[in-house]
Amino acid sequence: MHRLEETWLTVSAGILIIFMFIVGYQTFAMGMGPPSNKETIDPQKVEETAPFDHPGVFKVGENKYEVVMTMEAFSFNPDDITVPKGAEVEFVLTTKDVVHGFQVAGTNINAMVTPGHIQRISQTFDEPGEYLILCNEYCGVAHQLMSTTITVN
């Protein structure tokens, strides 16, 4: 192999290793990993299982909120929710039927919600406004209508 070829390969592999260190540091040291919650639930008994028997917005601490939410074709429960400015919100999500995607436009909230699993994802809302929550995984004929809002004021 030529010198130039060896250099190129070493640099390519080197970049990959440096990249992995950065991604790893962000994931494990800074807690920036993607949503990966491992709790499970019976997808056919969501309404009878805590906490999803009482979906809603709950205050759990100093400007800290928990949103317990179920998704089904083609709605969110609860919908059109409101939290105060600066609130740290943890969404606790599950689905009653097919796979849905939970996305809040204008934030990094983006998580798959698969039947049988409870997904968790957090966000601090510093900017007031009416944020659009939408389902971003195809879930059926009215998938494009599956949306709601979270108002921060």
Site residues for other proteins per CB under 8 A: 1, 5, 8-9, 12-13, 16, 19-20, 23-24, 26-28, 32-38, 40-45, 73-74, 97-99, 101, 103, 105-106, 108, 110-119, 130, 132, 134-141, 143-145, 147, 149
Output the smallest distance, CB 89 to other proteins, in A: 16
Query: In the complex with other proteins, which residue's Cβ is closer, 49 or 63?
Result: 49
Tell me how far apart the alpha carbons of residues 111 and 105 are, in angstroms, rounded to a whole number. Answer: 12
Output the smallest distance, CB 152 to other proteins, in A: 14
Output the smallest distance, CB 57 to other proteins, in A: 20
Output the smallest distance, CB 8 to other proteins, in A: 5
Q: Report the amino acid identity of residue 102.
A: F
Query: In the complex with other proteins, which residue's Cβ is closer, 19 or 59?
Result: 19
> What letter does residue 28 receive in the DSSP assignment?
I
Tell me how far apart the alpha carbons of residues 80 and 33 are, in angstroms, rounded to a whole number. Answer: 28
Query: In the complex with other proteins, which residue's Cβ is closer, 28 or 86?
Result: 28
Tell me how far apart the alpha carbons of residues 122 and 125 are, in angstroms, rounded to a whole number. Answer: 10
139 φ/ψ angles, rounded to the nearest 5 degrees: -130, 5
Output the smallest distance, CB 142 to other proteins, in A: 8
46 φ/ψ angles, rounded to the nearest 5 degrees: -60, -45
Query: In the complex with other proteins, which residue's Cβ is closer, 43 or 88?
Result: 43
Contact of 95 with 70, CB cutoff 8 Å? yes
> What letter does residue 26 receive in the DSSP assignment?
I
